[in-house]
Chain A
Amino acid sequence: MLSLNIVTELRTIFRNYWLAAITILLITVCLYAGWNGQNHVDRHQDSITSALEEMQEADDLMAAQLDSIERGLKIGLPTWQYPSSPTATGDRAPRVAAFPPGNLALISTGQSDMFNHYVKPTLTGDSFSIGFTELSSPVSLLMGNFDPAFVLVYLLPLIIISFCYNILSSEKEHGSLVLVASSPLSVRRWLLQKIAVRFVVLILLLTICLLLMLMMNGVMINAEALLMIIMVWLYAAFWFAMAYFINLRGKSSARNAITLLGLWVALVLAIPSLISQSASTFYPVPSRALLVNEMRTLQAELDKKQNEILDDYLRNHPELITRDADESTAYGWWQRYFASKELVSERMAPLLDNYDESLKQQQRWVNRLSFLSPAIVFRSSLDHMAQTSTAHYDNYRQSVLGFADEWRNFFLPMVFQDKPFTKAMIADLPAFHIEESGLKSPVPANATILLVMVAGLILASFAMSRAGKTEHLMQG
């Protein structure tokens, strides 16, 4: 029966122009979304490239100025801006801590339109006031970007629904079901084969469109790209299984269409939105403005007692005390400043931890409830593979904070020991890199959830329509 069903279903699909229509639709939306996604990635990459070029030019100039200074020549800068001053270099020659787009970044804009693609931590800057977020268009944030993730998460289920909402009900309404049901076969098995043929046809088309879109945008087709395609198959399988379940209830085409569209609204729009809303209600994140305000008050308080602070600081950091330092160098303005900065950081740590913990709790809440919506599960996998997930940006933020400490620690001994920054030290300047060891892929767990959902729907369909029992299908 399978080969017969395959041949007949293919003949029907080919002859009623559905295949031509769906092919044109899929190619158009996939290529347009890919082009749109790649444009975003290009802008992302361009901003990083131009920042790195700017940094290189500044480094070259700094090297030339240091060379002149070391040869005893004068340079056209006020002395406090001399690159030989560690505080000047630490602030005026920051490294570009960039988050470059991943191989599959065009798939999903994810959080990338909410964050800066690079930051430049400085010696005197506050770690927690580094501007990670950038201003985005509120319209774009509201509607989402027309990227491949939008097509796959939102539009693909609608295409599947339009393809399958009446796969059985139309046979019933048209009258051909009675002929099928008078044959010695299980209607649910026959329908499963019919819907499986449509699934394979759509999946083949979609896979070709996605591969074409990836290759046209210069994306490397690696294991991760193939894994992304497998996740698309699983998500599509969920919607096909849902259409199978709904059709087997034996209702009319109109009711099937309304039910499936209602499920689309619930699973793709309402539940993700409710989960997100509940996360911020149950685990509110403290306002950033409040944090900055808190930090300034603390700083003002500490400024009043800088001498005691410096004493304590040097007791904690004896390595920074210059052995032959006299009072004038040991108690300079910068030393007092950095000593109080550390205290501010220490005092602010609980608030910042609270901020981070709230974000983590929100994420855990979303993860815990993600099984309620295949759209959340699928979306989080796409964002992870595109490296634009919340976890990726949080990891980037942590890497930048670590790098900001490293940058400060590179210069602090020079500041305290009153040593100049030299040309030879340029090569030793800390370089930024993103620590990725802490990132756990949600893809295997998400794939399992989708598989369980598909299997559950098929089993539920089988339980609802026992073999040989067609009464509920033939009525009405």
Chain B
Amino acid sequence: MLHTENLTKEYNGQRALDKLNLSVESGDIYCLLGANGAGKSTTINLFLNFIQPTEGRAIIDMMDVSKEPLKTKEVIAYIPENLNLYGELTGLENLEYFVGLSGKKYAKSHLSDYLKEAGLQENAHRQRVKGYSKGMRQKVGIAIALAKRAKALLLDEPTSGLDPKASNEFSELLVKLSNQGVATLMATHDLFRAKETGTQLGIMKSGVLVEQLDADDINHSDLEKLYLAHMN
């Protein structure tokens, strides 16, 4: 579902991403690990067409992102580190708006069901988002992905700043989506959550994917050792 072919990005001659090749199939949760500036967010931004690759291709559902920027966005949902919705609108209205921007229209009750499915308590649906916690806003993001019927999910450190309970709830939602066949690419610093949730793990350093492994093939402790070995 999500593929890269020698994906490279340079900023003023500085290589931020170097010939990245990775694949995330339907149902996979691929966790990209790495320090700040390792190229995780750059990879996600290239899939979103927010930036143009210097070389190589990012492919979503067999479509080249650079050539089909709008069509590829029809099948993806994106949740950034800080999901900033419109504070003056309610959770329900935000969901209606962002799903509507993708060309989908649902009845209010249906949208409410998506919010419930994403774990947002019912009494918050009609409250203005400016009073929401970060965890609540991330749940609206998941509801957007659900309602968009996204085939792929791009997450840029979505659990950063969430308390352990909220983080756990978020991970459960990702697993649920994965079981529905959604391909997820998640950039994260949270090794524990990556091991718990991910099906595949990748470690990046200075724009290079230095390690790729199945999450089942490694335990928490070894993952931490491997990560630190690459970082040092």
B-contacting residues of A (Cβ < 8 Å)?
A: 1, 4, 8, 11-12, 15-16, 174-176, 178-186, 190, 467-471, 474-475
CB distance from A225 to the nearest CB of B (A): 37
- B193 at interface, CB cutoff 8 A: no
- Tell whether A1 pairs with B49 under 8 Å between CB atoms, given A175-B80, A178-B78, A179-B78: no
* Cross-chain contact B80 with A12 (CB below 8 angstroms): no
B192 at the interface (CB under 8 A from A): no
A11 touches B93 (CB 8 A): yes
Min CB distance B86 to A, Å, is: 6
Smallest CB separation, B146 vs chain A (Å): 15
Contacts of B88 in A (CB 8 A): 11-12, 15-16
Interface-central residue, B80, B97, B100, by most chain A CB under 10 Å: B97
**Chain A residues whose CB sits within 8 angstroms of the CB of B85 once the complex forms:** 176, 179
Nearest CB in chain B to that of A173: its residue = B84
Say whether B98 contacts A179, CB under 8 Å.
Answer: yes
Q: Do A8 and B51 form a contact, CB below 8 Å, given A184-B74, A185-B70?
A: no
CB distance from A176 to the nearest CB of B (A): 5
Which residue of chain B has its CB nearest to the CB of A181?
B50
Most buried by B among A15, A178, A179, A470: A179
Q: In angstroms, how far is the closest chain B Cβ from the Cβ of A189?
A: 11
Query: Do B45 and A176 have beta carbons less than 8 Å apart?
Result: no
**How far, in Å, is A385 (CB) from chain B's closest CB?**
40
Name the distance in Å between A19's Cβ and chain B's nearest Cβ.
Answer: 12
Q: Contact between B98 and A183 (Cβ–Cβ < 8 Å)?
A: yes
| Chain A residues in 8 Å Cβ range of B84 | 174-176, 179
Contact of A185 among B45, B48, B78, B101 (CB under 8 A): B101
Complex: how many Å from CA A167 to CA B80? 21
In the assembled complex, B23 has its CB within 8 A of some CB on chain A: no
B13 lies within 8 A of chain A by Cβ: no
CB distance from A171 to the nearest CB of B (A): 9
Least CB distance, B138 to chain A, in whole angstroms: 12
A182 to B50 CA separation, bound complex (whole angstroms): 8
State which residues 46-81 of B face A: CB under 8 Å: 48-52, 69-71, 73-74, 76-78, 80
A468 touches B69 (CB 8 A): yes
Residue pair B83, A179 in contact (C-beta under 8 Å): yes
Q: List 11 A-B contacts (CB under 8 A).
A: A8-B86, A16-B88, A174-B84, A176-B84, A176-B85, A178-B48, A179-B98, A181-B50, A182-B73, A182-B77, A468-B49
> Can you list, as one digit per residue, whether each of B110-138 has a CB less than 8 Å from chain A (1) or not (0)?
00000000000000000010000000000
B102 at the interface (CB under 8 A from A): yes
Residues of A within 8 A of B26 (CB): none
In the bound complex, what is the Cα–Cα distance between A190 and B103 (angstroms)? 13
Q: A11-B89, A16-B88 are in contact. List 15 more A-B contacts (CB 8 A).
A: A1-B103, A8-B89, A8-B93, A8-B97, A12-B86, A15-B88, A174-B84, A179-B144, A181-B48, A182-B78, A182-B154, A184-B74, A186-B70, A190-B101, A474-B51
* Distance of A178 Cα from B77 Cα, bound (Å): 11
Q: How far is the CA of A183 from the CA of B144 in the complex (A)?
A: 11
What is the distance, in angstroms, from A311's C-beta to the closest C-beta of chain B? 90
* A8-B86, A16-B88 given; A178·B102 CB < 8 A: no
